[in-house]
Structure 1
Amino acid sequence: MDNEPYDHVKSCCKDRFKITKSSGSGTVLPSRVGFGQKRASRCALCSRARSPRDPPRPRRPAVPSPPHAADRKIKNVCSCLSVDPAVPHTSCKSRCYEPFDDETPGCRCDAQCVTSGNCCYDYHDLCLLPTQQWQCSRLRCGEARLADSRCHCSSDCEAAGDCCTNYRHVCHGETEWVEDLCEDLSAPQCPASFKRQPLLLVSLDGLRAEYLQTWSTLVPVLDKLRRCGTSAPFMQAAFPSKTFPNHYTIVTGLYPESNGLIDNTMYDPVFDASFSLSSPEKSNPRWYHGQPIWHTARYQGLKSGTFFWPGSDVKINGSFPDIYRPYNGKVPFEERVFTVLKWLQLPDDQRPDFYTLYLEEPDKSGHNFGPVSGGVIEALQGVDNVIGQLMNGVKQIGLHRCLNIIIVADHGMEDTSCDRKEALQDFVGSVRDLWVTEGTFGRIRAKNNDTCRQPEQKIQPYLKAHLPKRLHYANSRRIEDVSVLVTPKWLYPGSLTFCAGGAHGYDNDVESMLAMFVSYGPKFQSQTEIEPFSNIELYNLMCDVLELLPVENNGTHGSLNHLLRRPPHAPVPPAEQSRPSECPLLSLQPADTLGCSCPQLVRAAADRTHTLFGRPRALRGGQSYCLLRQRGFISAFSHHARMPLWSSFTIDKPVSVPLPSVTPGCLRADVRVQHCELCLLSHLSPFVPRCFPLVHPLPAVPPDLNTTAEQQFDALLVSNVVPMYPEFKKIWDYFHSTLLMKYAFDYNGINVVTGPVFDYNYDGRYDTPEMKRLFVPGTDIPVPTHYFAVLTSCRSSSQPVSGCDGELQTVSFLLPHRPDNSESCRVSPDMTANRHHFFFSIQLKTRRGNRKRSRNRNNKISAVSGCCLRH
């Protein structure tokens, strides 16, 4: 057969067929493009050219072929096989990674299309991005399921439980969680398979509290959680304000000195080993003390799933959480959220009740760029988007009215500079023989007791025993003998390399170290702002949410009851272990005049009490004391310590009337107490020079506080005397004569309870008699290590404290009692010249009723004092 029929076929079927030849003959065979030889066989007759799938046709009788019969036959073949022309492909919709077929017209979607330059326009969006991103787009809705997709937007993704978190928003037009109004969650709605409401604990590392106020419009999801849930202006981190100590404090309720992680880097002299975040020791359970909440849950029949949390990938107490992930900072935030959402959809017998989720930002950006920077703003927006994905996903799986969420930070962030450094060498010379921890908080292992050298230096070194008690940072062998507090924005370097950008680890009272707190869910109050609190309280709170019984910890169980709609634990005051006795009136004539004859000033004991809110209770057994009532105060006199255990008095709002003068150097005998209990202390005249350290007998309640002569001379009773160093007396006098009077004026009167504290082994617990090591010279009267003061006022300043029938506000102080305060290095004795030094409260717990609104931090009761009042 010649080429003429071939040309006719080519002309006839040029856009529909490719032309082949049958084997063994010259017959031209048309074949449908894309179907190859399967579509057409020999084409001598139409029936032979049909595809096997075509329906059979009746045969026609054979007739002689007219001229040009071959041409008509080929045209009949074209008509016989006639189909629509092949439509070229223009999209990768449902075609991602379809094998390449060179017979297919149009663009390609196989993996090699990029190399050939023939990819469809949506290849990147439909085939590549799903393997890299965690969001649906309009193009992806109804997509064919891809095995390598991070999440899915196919029509079956809801049944499979692996939809992208914005699937229903993008593909079904539903609103995102952040767009919804605040919901009433008082009636929780959980799926039938949930026996209890789950709890998710989220950490946004380094998100200082101030960020949420300054940049609230840039973080709409976090801002909505704050507005719709329960929040605090700030949450106080534990000291030091570092990542590992605080994360482990949050889940154990223990201060770092008790939970074992006293810093991100530390040395244990017993183990003779060092711990750091990059060393194998990080995974050694011997460093971790206490019981983290995932173990509390396990021991009480619940399950836990932790997607990163310091300590969660360590075999503490012989076990891990039920589900956990070894830490890997390279895991995308979205993958962490998606995994937690998958855990929430597990079958009931596998699903955790408690979850953790940890994100490294904005801490990482804060270190790199500083706390006030574009880098931190970008990081904040990034974590806000991730939390938005979390809330969308929770809503999508129907748990937005069931899941309880707590979002916290471990600490804040402060600006630092390489120009603001204090080198240890400038103070002690060579440091080659010292083990020094550098940065925002320093620790030194040293035998010598050097004092500081420069009055205006940016560091304050403390011996372990002298560290401020409010730091709770002494009772651990891993804490060095010397600790160095650094002024905010400054660094304490040894061989410090990274100094520019941001850092944390400073005093946890510094504003920039304060962390964020937000909670949301049916267990929590709605649209409520509470007072600031310490992160040691979170463990008890989480146990209450999960209906668990917490183990012993440093928090106060029930102190956060006002966060909960229905708190399960009602705190009860501890039972008194030692009841007071009455001090009998033995004689109206004192056995010893004490060198001072004041018979005309002797007054009868007052019968009015100054314990407005109840008498302080003795929680240790075996104590012997009696109550002494005077006109201006009431005290509990200890027969063992031979001094008041506590003294309570009320200061009404002062009027501008000068106090009567005090008879100097005159102590009165107290006829209610036997002479032998007082004589040793009373004969130590404050005017007799003695060897250092000199201890003076001074009134626990200064006479100048009283408003009448009778009350003043009651304060001169020898039963009101306590041993006190001269340097501390300056502080004590300033505290009582200036600060207490100021507070009484500002808050319409205050009730004050003061007394001595004994903590010679600096473990934060009351010392037993055998632990007391320092005594008044020539006596067995112990010298206190601290003095405490608890101030209480009415929250409404329109009511006097003596007639308050509403909520109370309380603040507590612990003042170190030492012969000197050399760590402050200040030469000026003027207390008012150093008003910028604050010693803040150690507790903000006492309350009457639920306190839901926070007072301004700058307006709360707090004392300003000289350099010695360093907590």
Structure 2
Amino acid sequence: MLNRLAGLCLALLLAACATTPVTVSDERPLVMLVSIDGFRADYLDRGITPNLSRLAAEGATGPMRPSFPSVTFPNHYTLVTGLHPDHHGIVGNTMIDAELGRFSLGNQQAVTDRRWWDQGEPIWVTAERQGVKTATMFWPGSEADIRGVRPSLWAPFDKSMTGDARVDQVLAWMDLPQDRRPQLTTLYFDIVDTAGHHNGPDAPETAEAIRSVDASIGRLGEGLKARGLYERTVIVVVSDHGMAATSPERVLVLDDILDPAAVQIVYGGAVTFLNPVEGREAEVERALLGSRPHLDCWRKSEIPARFVLGSNPRVPAILCAAEPGWLLATRDWPVTKPGGAHGYDNQAPEMQAIFIAHGPGVVRGRRLRDLDSVDVQPFLARLLGVQAPRGDGRPKDTEAVTRR
């Protein structure tokens, strides 16, 4: 008996230490990390999400501030590494690295190259290294062997796969024998973001996409109940950013500001990454730097500190941020119809993401404030009982989720 007590004390001591792995108990909950790309925080108030609203009412929830720039790949990697983009290296959906070349969402060779991702350690790598099995039903980064480690189970991204099919694959993984069943599973839905871009955040098509994903969340819950796993699963629902309405009437044309041949546009729209062409640096800086109506541009070294961006070599020489709802475009890439965009100031109300936690140990009805996307990774580590590398998040920000 004394030996067992000593062992328990040692395990608790190790759990408080940031350098030594812990042995995960069979009593730890299963953890489902669900991302709904482009799900704005106030979508939850529109009366069209019965399943998500029930999880929120029965659990802990609050709006969550994304990292800047408020775009998909940087923020999904922030959610699982606890690092701001400047620190984990995925600084944009499109970016340039002096050694690796160009990264973009559609560049499969880049997406699967661990060298783009190795500046951060996602939670599934942390967990696998400490003996915790993981599975990723799509997540940016999960197709690469980051730091030499992959999830035990994963699938290459397939945009054509329906939400219900994604849920069914996750449930099939839950049917595996206990020694092969993942303790952490990620699940990703993209259609709300797609509908928001094409139609705007207030369009009927976006509402229909929200309803569809909510139904898939309901399918997940019913599937877990049928397997007797619902009561031991913590479901964590997040989004990477919100969505702002745009229109052709709210567009700044780069060609009206400077000769577009003087710059290399790495990434454009709500937030624009630019590198001056060699020899034209002074000309570009004179034309762009500073504030004008609906647009601010900075040298990378002068980006406001609150954005936590500018030290990583992948950040371009100049960054321009449009006012929420406005876009920076070129005559070659005009904006011709209303729609939606993100990438704006991460404190803008339209950019706020969601956070919902539901399951064993989560305080029912808890309302959270001042959550940041970097807070999710330490929360997941606490649920899983693993020690994660220290990041930019504050563990105390999510203590209230489980503190009664």
TM-score interval for Structure 1 and Structure 2 normalised by the shorter chain: 0.7 to 0.9
More helix by share: 2
Q: Give 2:297's aligned residue.
A: 461
Instruction: Give the letter for the 1:374 counterpart.
Output: P
Cα offset for 1:319?
Answer: 2.4
**For the residues of structure 1 that align with 2:388 and 2:95, how far apart are their CA atoms?**
28
Cα offset for 1:498?
Answer: 5.1
Aligned-pair RMSD on alpha carbons?
Answer: 1.7
**For the residues of structure 2 that align with 1:526 and 1:364, how far apart are their CA atoms?**
32
> Is it true that 1:406 corresponds to 2:236 in the alignment?
yes
CA contact (8 A) 1:194 1:348 kept: no
Q: Give 1:522's aligned residue.
A: 360
> Is it true that 1:418 corresponds to 2:248 in the alignment?
yes
**For the residues of structure 2 that align with 1:290 and 1:264, how far apart are their CA atoms?**
16
Q: Give 1:485's aligned residue.
A: 321
Q: Deviations over 1:692-745 (max 9, x none)?
A: xxxxxxxxxxxxxxxxxxxxxxxxxxxxxxxxxxxxxxxxxxxxxxxxxxxxxx
**For the residues of structure 1 that align with 2:72 and 2:149, how far apart are their CA atoms?**
23
**For the residues of structure 2 that align with 1:229 and 1:218, how far apart are their CA atoms?**
18
CA contact (8 A) 2:250 2:325 kept: yes
Alignment of 1:223-302 (within 5 A): 223-232=53-62, 234-271=63-100, 273-279=101-107, 280-288=109-117, 289-302=119-132
Q: TM-score, normalised by structure 1?
A: 0.41
Instruction: Give the letter for the 1:357 counterpart.
Output: L
Q: Give 1:578's aligned residue.
A: none
SS at match of 1:517: strand
**For the residues of structure 2 that align with 1:218 and 1:276, how far apart are their CA atoms?**
33
SS at match of 1:380: helix
**For the residues of structure 2 that align with 1:194 and 1:219, how far apart are their CA atoms?**
33
> Is it true that 1:434 corresponds to 2:263 in the alignment?
yes
**For the residues of structure 2 that align with 1:560 and 1:235, how far apart are their CA atoms?**
11
Gaps in structure 2 of 5+ consecutive residues: 1-24
Instruction: Give the letter for the 1:265 counterpart.
Output: T
SS at match of 1:295: helix
Cα offset for 1:451?
Answer: 5.2
Larger Rg: 1
Q: Give 1:208's aligned residue.
A: 40
> Is it true that 1:538 corresponds to 2:370 in the alignment?
no
Q: Give 1:311's aligned residue.
A: 141
CA contact (8 A) 2:289 2:297 kept: no
Gaps in structure 1 of 5+ consecutive residues: 1-192, 567-871
SS at match of 1:196: coil
Cα offset for 1:314?
Answer: 1.1
Residue in structure 2 matching 1:450, options 270, 279, 286? 286
Cα offset for 1:425?
Answer: 2.1
More strand by share: 2
Change (3 A) 1:351 1:452: closer
Cα offset for 1:209?
Answer: 0.3
> Is it true that 1:502 corresponds to 2:340 in the alignment?
yes
Cα offset for 1:565?
Answer: 3.9
CA contact (8 A) 1:414 1:512 kept: yes
CA contact (8 A) 2:290 2:297 kept: no
Cα offset for 1:454?
Answer: 9.7
Residue in structure 1 matching 2:307, options 458, 471, 476? 471
> Is it true that 1:365 corresponds to 2:195 in the alignment?
yes
**For the residues of structure 2 that align with 1:411 and 1:349, how far apart are their CA atoms?**
35
**For the residues of structure 2 that align with 1:438 and 1:423, how far apart are their CA atoms?**
11
SS at match of 1:483: strand
> Is it true that 1:551 corresponds to 2:381 in the alignment?
no
Change (3 A) 1:541 1:522: same
CA contact (8 A) 1:306 1:356 kept: yes
Cα offset for 1:276?
Answer: 0.5
CA contact (8 A) 1:464 1:482 kept: yes
Q: Deviations over 1:126-172 (max 9, x none)?
A: xxxxxxxxxxxxxxxxxxxxxxxxxxxxxxxxxxxxxxxxxxxxxxx
Q: Give 2:22's aligned residue.
A: none
SS at match of 2:274: strand
Change (3 A) 1:208 1:451: same
CA contact (8 A) 1:229 1:528 kept: yes
If asked which structure has higher relative contact order (CA below 8 Å, sep 6+), I would say 2
Change (3 A) 1:497 1:284: farther
Give % identity.
34
Change (3 A) 1:310 1:498: farther
**For the residues of structure 2 that align with 1:362 and 1:473, how far apart are their CA atoms?**
27
